[in-house]
Structure 1
Amino acid sequence: MMGRSTSMESNSLQRPTSLWHRLHVDPLLLILLLLVSGGGLIVLYSGADASIGMVERQLMRLGVAFVAMFVFAQLDPSVYRRWTPWLYILGLAGLVAVLLAGVGAKGAQRWLALPGLPRFQPSEIMKLLVPMMAAWYLSRHYLPPRFVHVMIGVGLVLLPMVLIIQQPDLGTALLVGAAGMFVVFFAGLSWKLITGFFALLAVAAPAMWFFVMRDYQKQRVLTLLDPQSDPLGAGWNIIQSTTAIGSGGWSGKGWLQGTQSHLEFLPESHTDFIVAVLAEEFGFVGLLVLLAAYLLIILRCLYIAVNAQDSFSRVLAGALTMTFFVYIVVNIGMVSGLLPIVGVPLPLISYGGTSIVTLMSAFGVLMAIHTHRRMITA
């Protein structure tokens, strides 16, 4: 009787009783996301040339994104595991629908306009569904996976990539591919397979240059190598961006005092190149503060991944975290002239709709993995 009483007391002590656990929200991660998003609105106001209307629209989108995060956090990871294959098929159908009847803008056909729904990009949703699908498949087998299972997992990643490239949207395709390949990597690959993958990539690179990449994509790579070859054309974006970053110095010119963005030298200053606005107005110090906040978010997400209780949750959480990291590296790399310009927004800072909702949904999945952990009874 006493043993049973002790066991019951132990169980009651181990059940989560805080409000945060009942809401299935990780408070530390939530606070960090709110801080970065709030700072992003301040930078966006300047990058959008003091347009309060754009800030209000972004605030509404952030509201929808945080609601999506909260909703995704309520679902047990077993629900994601059960519904992932069907959602993945639905996502593929959306990508096919874009190619057949999508809405075009700026030379690309990437959006769907369904009756009663706002226009959205199915490719953005695949940033979440592809790693979920890869994690679902690989976690069904013993880890580390056998070669045949790795190849099937890679195929599940490549299929949506091919469809997205046809839109064309190479930047999003690469991010979707990175999200899926991180799952394959975290599932446990031998060094032989990793070496073989990079060797295959090196062999395939020339074929991609001649048969896959379009002329404007090749021009972006050539411009990266020598921006001054066409300073008033293809090299304009990189030149103006690096000029803005360099002119900010240590402490910046001050909020709303950036000349490159407000005199309209800097293109897309509210979306892809918003980090150049931040660097010009807040300087190296402001950029370090942003990177420190990003680092704290990544560390918290990695902590969630390490402490996940099953293979599906562990590899999925790790992949979503590293995808967020890739977003940051690619955006800052392309704006500073270290990577080709591929149209990747800066997470939580750039103006956007579907992208921010998808990103916050991914954080909701991470919170679900952390807060739905099964309690260990004594």
Structure 2
Amino acid sequence: MAETPIRFGILGCAGIARKLSRAITISPNSILYAIGSRSLDKAKKFAAENGFPPSAKIYDSYEAVLDDPDVDAVYVPLPTSLHVKWAVLAAEKKKHLLLEKPVALNVAEFDLIIEACEANGVQFMDGTMWMHHPRTAKMSEFLADSQRFGQLTTVHSIFTNAGDEDFLKNDIRVKPELDGLGALGDIGWYCIRSILWAVNYELPKTVTALRGAILNEAGVILACGSSLEWEDRKTSTFYCSFLSNLTIDITVIGTKGTLHIHDFVIPHEEETASFTAASKSGFKEFATGWDPLPSQCVVATDIPQDASMVREFSRLVKSIKEGGSKPENKWPSISRKTQLVLDKVKESIEKGFEPVQVGA
């Protein structure tokens, strides 16, 4: 008997929703079921261009998607300023929630979303796709290997992507009333998540934004960086920017090994992704080279990482819907920690780049 797929509704026709529409179609346990927009014509056009089946429901409002009793889950790619309203309403309508990042404007708003999810027994997950690539699990194995990697000492993460003139003037990510967190929320989110992933989600003690943050005339962050420090003297840095060439790197350094990734958010290829690992490295005599050389690990995937995310989310939803399971709290916990650190970086910038205690 064929597996009953999880039926997805999408709120809005944002550009990233094109990618998730494809992911929902590719994932073996999900189906595009409904799309809602404030414009019926826009919703119809989006459905026609993004592989929605002929049976898909086309609605002229977000509310209509949430009111459809056959929608199991919703993907919400709306501007961050609208997340708390629509995510809470989705949870109250008993719709499982796949929410685009950043999850909220601040952790207080995110807590309202999670309270609604918990009160209504729905699964929450944010849209950080690279977490679901099998490469990530393979890299975690290396970091956990005390013989090859040792004890983590420092992490450095970079995500930059130069926006053109139109982007820097008109994109929602540079508008304070829509996505007021700017580059910090959009691509800094990935840097912060990568650091937390590397340290097994242990929150830092302090966050200190680096001097030299660049803001537009409306006060939205276009480029910034930060250092993080832990009780046991682990350190990390990150930098994110809408003004520099595309770079997506993580370097994780331990007492015995080093991990490098150059495309951690979006792999260069969909079918495979790689990373390099060096263990117990040293210079040859007279520093003529490395011994041993770093090794490259190539990890294949059966479906793209965005579809892997949808598949895992749908699996969790199905286990709740049909198996009586409780929602998995791992994902909201990770999202909250990411949002919390992001908040503290913003606070440090606003306080003149002074250190800020993170807390919990």
- Report TM bin, short chain: under 0.3
Higher helix share: 1
Q: Which has the higher contact order (CA 8 A, sep 6+)?
A: 1
Higher strand share: 2
Q: TM-score normalised to the size of structure 2? A: 0.24
Q: TM-score normalised to the size of structure 1? A: 0.23
